[in-house]
């Protein structure tokens, strides 16, 4: 979207989809944490909230950003999500 310089409406639609996919992924992960972890990590859940808040803030101000600033924000969020994925420990089998 960014590289193809799509319309603002298409960009907002893509951000909306990214937010929904992220929210769904975090819900699934939290459900697994509830199932497998006797004491789920509250810091990890708070990180989910922070990432979603950043995505919402980006979406709400995306039209005010120039393309360079928008790209910088997307890269920052991408790094947070990538870091999050690499921090997830293997989950034991449920008995």
Give the rounded distance of the alpha carbon of 54 from its chain centre.
8
Is residue 11 within 8 Å of residue 1, measured between CB atoms? yes
Is residue 51 within 8 Å of residue 80, measured between CB atoms? yes
Please give the pLDDT value at position 27: 93
Is 71 within a domain? yes
The 10s digit of each residue's pLDDT in 18-62 is: 999 999 999 998 888 888 877 877 888 888 999 999 999 989 888
> Containing H/E element for 24?
helix 8-36
Is 95 within a domain? no
- Counting other chains too, the contacts that 13-17 makes at CB distance below 8 Å and 24 or more residues apart are 15/55, 15/58, 15/59, 15/62, 16/59
In total, how many domains does the chain have? 1
Domain that holds residue 60: 1-84
Q: Does the pTM of the predicted model rise above 0.85?
A: no
């Amino acid at each position: 979207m960014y590289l193809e310089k799509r319309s603002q409406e298409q960009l907002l639609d893509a951000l909306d989809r990214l937010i929904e996919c992220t929210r769904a992924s975090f819900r699934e992960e939290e459900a697994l944490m509830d199932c497998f972890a006797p004491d789920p990590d509250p810091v990890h859940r708070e990180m989910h909230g922070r990432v979603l808040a950043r995505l919402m803030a980006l979406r709400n101000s995306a039209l005010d950003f120039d393309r360079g600033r928008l790209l910088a924000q997307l890269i920052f969020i991408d790094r947070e999500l990538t870091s999050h994925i690499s921090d997830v420990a293997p989950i034991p089998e449920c008995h």
